[in-house]
């Protein structure tokens, strides 16, 4: 048998490998506490499930959906976006339904990167950015995210010759895995940079609605001129606890939307219409329901931060968005993989190693606050018992 060489250039997908290790430990009888994949443990809100139940019995939803999304879905999307970010989009030309944002990120990279083309990518980052670039035959140019620069790429350090040949630049805030946030000033700088070199900007805003302590994440389209050169991905997965439903949307420049649509129409057949009807109900979710959900995450954040500080992690400021903590590994471990293995073997705790998110993720690990606070407290207790503590310099998560 012969397979495409492009598959040989990719490492195993991080979360698939984590899942294998978790299952193997569980089969040995280990009581697993998983801080691994960012999959909300709370159920989808009841009114969304009710809308889905009604829609699935409507036989008009049983045929192929429109490729770009139903008119009802796209109109609800742009209405939600305008209410949330104050930015208007044409539902017909500047909006597209997605089977979750993961597939759309890949398809957008496929639409913009030919063999040998350069993509400016963050590191550490969601692994799909780099793997999709490699699958398309592109050349990833890494823009490091460091604590010193508040986990934002330093655009001034991108060489002119690299910027001149780059097709796209990818950003994602609130950030996975670091939990960092981006101010509107950064987006203004990014758009100016992209226009100077005619680079398409792709913004992954999947965590826009998970904010705490009064923080509301901006959209890149609040930056001046962004619609000329940018596209933003949104997912209903995290906001409404709908990871398994696979529904999201993209808004942005008409030509960029058209390029993404061209790829998608040749690859998939769109989102099941009943799910789109449920998504419309999701967009109408009262703010207090979303805030209640966020308060659960905030409470878990506070429990985790308190416990980790007691174990020696000097956390200067808790995250304001996402449900991730990004922490340095203890200094007595050489690599993040070594620490992640120790957490699983000694404590029965699953955490992703930072190097799974790229070269600049080495030395860190991520905690997903997607388990009950009692299990977080138990995880902290296990770490204390097994001596997995941190005694070193301050960090920010």
Asked whether residue 160 falls in the same domain as residue 296, the answer is no
- Dihedral of alpha carbons 281, 237, 184, 88, sign: negative
- Cα–Cα dist 122/143, whole Å: 5
Buried b (16+ CB within 10 A) or exposed e, 22-31: beebeeeeee
Render each residue's pLDDT in the chain as its tens digit; 397 residues.
877 777 776 766 666 777 777 777 777 888 999 998 889 999 999 999 999 999 999 999 999 999 999 999 999 999 999 999 999 999 999 999 999 999 999 999 999 999 999 999 999 999 999 999 999 999 999 999 999 999 999 999 999 999 999 999 999 999 999 999 999 999 999 999 999 999 999 999 999 999 999 999 999 999 999 999 999 999 999 999 999 999 999 999 999 999 999 999 999 999 999 999 999 999 999 999 999 999 999 999 999 999 999 999 999 889 999 999 999 999 999 999 999 999 999 999 999 999 999 999 999 999 999 999 999 999 999 999 999 999 744 444 4
Show which of 251, 283, 315 is a domain's final residue: 283
- Cα–Cα dist 393/2, whole Å: 50
- Cα–Cα dist 370/367, whole Å: 9
- Cα–Cα dist 34/369, whole Å: 9
- Cα–Cα dist 80/318, whole Å: 29
Asked whether residue 38 falls in the same domain as residue 114, the answer is no
Number of domains in the chain: 2
- Beta-strand pair 166-172/139-144: unpaired
Asked whether residue 158 falls in the same domain as residue 215, the answer is yes
Asked whether residue 130 falls in the same domain as residue 218, the answer is yes
Asked whether residue 180 falls in the same domain as residue 32, the answer is no
In whole angstroms, how far apart are CA 107 and each of 104, 129, 250, 259, 261? 5, 11, 12, 9, 9
> What range does the domain containing 142 cover?
46-283
Q: Give phi and psi for 235, each to the nearest 5.
A: -130, 145
Asked whether residue 198 falls in the same domain as residue 132, the answer is yes
Counting DSSP H helices and E strands in the chain, the numbers are 13, 11
Asked whether residue 21 falls in the same domain as residue 158, the answer is no
- Cα–Cα dist 372/38, whole Å: 14
Helical H segments across the chain, by residue range: 5-8, 14-27, 46-56, 71-85, 100-112, 128-135, 160-165, 184-197, 254-267, 273-283, 287-310, 336-347, 373-385
Residue 101 CA neighbour count, 13 Å, CB half: 24
Secondary element (H or E) of residue 235: strand 230-235
Show which of 283, 300, 317 is a domain's final residue: 283
- Cα–Cα dist 137/210, whole Å: 34
Show which of 283, 315, 349 is a domain's final residue: 283
Asked whether residue 150 falls in the same domain as residue 12, the answer is no
């Amino acid at each position: 048998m012969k397979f495409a060489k492009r598959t040989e250039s990719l490492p195993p997908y991080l979360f698939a490998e984590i899942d294998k290790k978790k299952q193997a430990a569980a089969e040995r009888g280990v009581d697993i506490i998983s801080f691994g994949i960012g999959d909300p443990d709370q159920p989808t809100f009841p009114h969304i499930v009710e809308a889905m139940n009604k829609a699935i019995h409507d036989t008009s939803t049983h045929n192929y959906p429109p490729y770009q999304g139903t008119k009802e879905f796209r109109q609800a999307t742009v209405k939600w976006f305008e209410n949330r970010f104050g930015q208007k989009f044409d539902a017909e030309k500047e909006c597209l339904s997605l089977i979750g944002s993961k597939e759309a990120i890949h398809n957008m990279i496929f639409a913009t990167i030919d063999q040998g083309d350069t993509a400016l990518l963050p590191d550490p980052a969601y692994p799909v950015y780099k793997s999709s670039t490699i699958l398309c035959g592109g050349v990833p140019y890494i823009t490091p995210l460091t604590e010193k620069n508040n986990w934002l790429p330093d655009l001034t350090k991108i060489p002119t010759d690299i910027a001149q040949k780059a097709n796209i630049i990818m950003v994602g805030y609130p950030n996975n895995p670091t939990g960092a946030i981006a101010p509107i000033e950064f987006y203004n700088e990014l758009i100016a940079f992209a226009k100077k070199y005619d680079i398409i900007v792709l913004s992954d805003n999947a965590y826009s609605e998970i904010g705490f302590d009064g923080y509301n994440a901006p959209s890149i389209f609040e930056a001046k001129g962004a619609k000329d050169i940018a596209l933003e991905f949104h997912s209903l997965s995290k906001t409404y606890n709908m990871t398994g439903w696979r529904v999201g949307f993209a808004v942005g420049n008409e030509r960029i939307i058209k390029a993404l649509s061209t790829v998608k129409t040749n690859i998939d057949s769109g989102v099941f219409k009943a799910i789109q009807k449920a998504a419309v109900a999701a967009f109408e979710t009262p703010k207090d329901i979303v805030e209640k959900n966020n308060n659960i995450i905030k409470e878990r954040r506070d429990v985790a931060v308190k416990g980790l500080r007691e174990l020696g992690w000097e956390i200067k400021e808790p995250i304001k968005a996402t449900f991730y903590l990004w922490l340095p590994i203890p200094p007595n471990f050489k690599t993040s993989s070594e620490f992640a293995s120790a957490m699983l073997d000694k404590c029965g705790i699953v955490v992703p190693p930072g190097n799974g998110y790229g070269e600049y993720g080495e030395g860190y690990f991520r905690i997903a606050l997607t388990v009950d606070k009692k299990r977080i407290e138990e995880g902290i207790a296990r770490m204390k018992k097994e001596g997995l503590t941190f005694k070193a310099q301050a960090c920010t998560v």
